[in-house]
Amino acid sequence: MHRIPIPTKDGEFTAWFSERGLARLEFPGNRPNRLSTPQAGKPALRSSVSLRRWQQQTANALRQALAGETPKSLPPLDLSAGTAFQQAVWKALVRIPQGQTRSYAQLAASVGKPLAVRAAGGACGANPIPVLVPCHRVVPKGGGLGGFSAGLEWKRRLIARENITLQ
């Protein structure tokens, strides 16, 4: 795992890269703890060249996402940390167009489990790559914000940047 700081105008994010791509993204001010910090000792990266390219792509994508724009190119995402269900949910999240929202029920239905709404919420909470995997675009059906792993203030901010108005 390689830890790369990514400065933005919203603060310094921390990206973690595995040999397969971007594996984790932490918000500014998140002090690392042993639960959320990936363990060292993973296989070394194939080349520092791809790492540099991923870092650049991640920084660009992150800044565009924070500006409410659709990132033109994303680095490869390493979602292998999640279960099959979680990975399906995260991939469904990436497909939500910029400026739109989905309910937890719609999200659950899009992975073929329309009844697993609670589990879908849990998968959102376990999302290791917020912002680039836009879990902030998922809101409760009945209105409101739902929850957000990094705090509702971030969710509100990200939603506002995309000109999304909530009921």
Q: What is the contact surface with DNA in residues (CB under 7 A)?
A: 82-86, 103-105, 113, 115-119, 121-127, 130, 135-136, 138, 140-142, 146-149
| Nearest to DNA of 45, 164 (CB atom) | 164
Q: How far is the CB of 132 from DNA (least distance, A)?
A: 13
Q: How far is the CB of 74 from DNA (least distance, A)?
A: 19
Residues known to be catalytic:
135
Q: How far is the CB of 17 from DNA (least distance, A)?
A: 21
| Nearest to DNA of 11, 125 (CB atom) | 125
Q: How far is the CB of 81 from DNA (least distance, A)?
A: 9
| Nearest to DNA of 60, 106 (CB atom) | 106
**Per-residue three-class SS string for the chain:** CEEEEEEECCEEEEEEEECCEEEEEECCCCCCCCCCCCCCCCCCCCCHHHHHHHHHHHHHHHHHHHCCCCCCCCCCECCCCCCHHHHHHHHHHHCCCCCCCEEHHHHHHHCCCCCCHHHHHHHHHCCCCCCCCCHHHEECCCCCCCCCCCCHHHHHHHHHHCCCCCC
| Nearest to DNA of 48, 94 (CB atom) | 94
